[in-house]
Structure 1
């Protein structure tokens, strides 16, 4: 009985701590969203008046719309490139020997471990020689390098619970390895691939450090524009843009979860 009571107390403490951490993480969001509807000409919380003027300022600004378009195109292209490459890399690592897999995994997570500013300086120096600074191609390549580790780790996690005997059975019946991978393995780990794609999209859309160095002019990303705006002129337009980015991120996350639930329900 004492052990049962202790477990209940431990569970309550974990719930309290988890709730406190979650509240701490979402607190900035709870502050930014109300500020975006302020009618004042400066950031204030809580807002004393209600208005959509800053959303109007955002959606009618040619500069903000151009930056938003660049970021969305870069995020979509990054997702389209990083997802299949990361999936194939995860598949190759999963099928390799444990020694090769452990060594490769260290290399894979390097972009996550190394400070982004160091990567940004290196990318900027390389792009200066290749003429890729301030180009959409350069942005997509840099963002893909950052997004790949998230896709690889996510898909490898899904492959851990996959029974490879199913693929071997398909290959024993005459299917090529590529065909068996596409028709047998990929459907089984589809949710992990979709999650990796979501992480790749958000990584590109939210990236700011590298974008500060390699994007600019007509190819400036939304995060670079936001940083410049915070430096030069602070107004509630930033809060409105932040709210829009929050909505996009949450919508994408909900979409991935709904797809995953529908797949589970079909089973």
Structure 2
């Protein structure tokens, strides 16, 4: 907001102090992420800026670590890069395999979290729902409780029911990630339902529409931006989560965060920085999508964005 022309010297001083504080906080939060991106293009196998990088010498920068993400684990990485080479990447490259695992786990965890979280939000939005505050606190507790406690509890629970003996790969990881993603869906859908006009559903019911038709034709189109926003947050949570995976997953069940953790323990390689850069870009794109959906939801509810 622009400073009014009649502002006093003290107000002007506070205005610029406020801007400087906001800028300093923003830089403090974003600096660790910004440092990772140029380091991922380091031509040398170091986690620090070399003299060539600091002097902007082109020879100090390289795409070798991004190339390593494709070649690591391949059977014939030096072969000619044709259709067979890319088939080898798809079938044997370690980072590609863990990326596929993360996407599959994230998809099913997000699907489960979105369905259950939406149902919970719809139930909590009903005026006749008893103990809403207590139930809401319990449902969003996975977001509040330290992740190590949640992971430990899930480990003992899954061990007691012997979930690995069920023969479904990544089942425990999917259910655990869905547990962590449900609070995000509940919060976003509940926020969408705050401005929801329930007279629309009553009007549809008075015209003879069934509850399923009312939800499909009236409720769902209006809360869809909140559902998608919650689903994106749930997917990001699943895609970046490592603690629960280390507790729950079997030794052969690898995801991107777990592979990064193993790489840090066994062999420090800037390839991890390349993966981190890719994850940052994906997160930025998802957050931009969430913002667009938020604005669309405000327009559907007749609320102008501030």
TM-score (norm 2): 0.79
The C-alpha deviation readout for 1:209-266, integer Å capped at 9, x for no partner, is: 1011112433211111111111121110110000111111112222333455567678
Q: Which runs of 5+ in 1 are unaligned?
A: none
User: Do structure 1's residue 184 and structure 2's residue 218 form an aligned pair?
Assistant: yes
User: Do structure 1's residue 91 and structure 2's residue 122 form an aligned pair?
Assistant: yes
**Mapped partners of 1:201, 1:258: distance in 2:** 17
Moved more, 208-217 or 219-228: 208-217
**Larger Rg belongs to:** 2
User: Do structure 1's residue 226 and structure 2's residue 260 form an aligned pair?
Assistant: yes
**Mapped partners of 1:186, 1:13: distance in 2:** 45
The C-alpha deviation readout for 1:122-175, integer Å capped at 9, x for no partner, is: 211222233335931111000000000111011101111111111111111111
**Mapped partners of 2:243, 2:68: distance in 1:** 26
Quote the offset at 1:8 in angstroms.
Answer: 5.6
* Aligned residue in 2 for 1:132: 163
1:167-206 residue pairs with structure 2 within 5 A?
167-206=201-240
Q: Which residue among 38, 53, 63 is the counterpart of 1:34?
A: 38
Moved more, 43-52 or 222-231: 43-52
**Mapped partners of 1:163, 1:119: distance in 2:** 37
The count of residues paired between Structure 1 and Structure 2 equals: 267
Q: Which runs of 5+ in 2 are unaligned?
A: 54-59, 73-92
**Mapped partners of 1:8, 1:168: distance in 2:** 53
- 1:215–1:221 Cα contact (<8 Å) kept: no
**Mapped partners of 2:102, 2:45: distance in 1:** 27
Aligned-residue CA RMSD (Å) = 2.5
* Aligned residue in 2 for 1:50: 61
User: Do structure 1's residue 211 and structure 2's residue 245 form an aligned pair?
Assistant: yes
